[in-house]
Structure 1
Amino acid sequence: MAFMRLISGSLELLAAVLMVRHRSLERALLINGLLGFVGPIILILVNALGIAGLATRLSPHKLALLIAGVVCILLGTRS
């Protein structure tokens, strides 16, 4: 999970550098759009890894509550 977050943070920093380097609003919007696509994918992958790691240690009831919470986050962030 930490490695996925490290990759995500590195992509954010790289995007910021590219935005500053290009000095173009159009390019900045394009880069920001790409980040908007990558962000939810990273969120889903990190949550899936966390749930998979906890699946053997949690009771079925708590696991169902955890999955329901992740689904609520994903539904709440849809536009």
Structure 2
Amino acid sequence: MRTLPVLGSMVMLRILSGLLEIVTAVIILRSGSVQTALRLNAFLGLVGPIVFLAVSALGIISIAVKLPLPKVLLICTGLLLVLWGTSK
């Protein structure tokens, strides 16, 4: 796997995620409703971890071919610990 296409994909996912956050903030501001704000915030709460996992997966797959298996497993363990730590 070449580095530039993977890095570009990671960057684009993060840019799209950021744009989604900004657009949602504008929609919340214009709605003026706490109920709408909570619904949209819940939606963003679902999208955030999905983007995190997608970007992490792209990065791990990209470097997995260059690193020995124990280091890849260590990185995956760290990723799982982040997910576990933020879920409680």
> Are residues 1:26 and 2:5 paired?
no
Identity score, percent: 41
Aligned length: 79
With normalisation by structure 2, the TM-score equals 0.86
- Cα shift at 1:61: 1.2
The one-letter amino acid paired with 1:66 is: I
Identify which of structures 1 and 2 has the higher relative contact order when contacts are C-alpha pairs closer than 8 Å and 6+ apart: 2
With normalisation by structure 1, the TM-score equals 0.95
1:58 and 1:2 map into 2 onto residues whose CA distance is: 22
Tell me the residue number matched to 1:41: 50
3-state SS in 2 of match to 1:19: helix
Tell me the residue number matched to 1:51: 60
Q: Which runs of 4+ in 1 moved over 6 A?
A: none
> Are residues 1:14 and 2:28 paired?
no
> Are residues 1:66 and 2:78 paired?
no
2:30 and 2:67 map into 1 onto residues whose CA distance is: 47
1:2 and 1:53 map into 2 onto residues whose CA distance is: 14
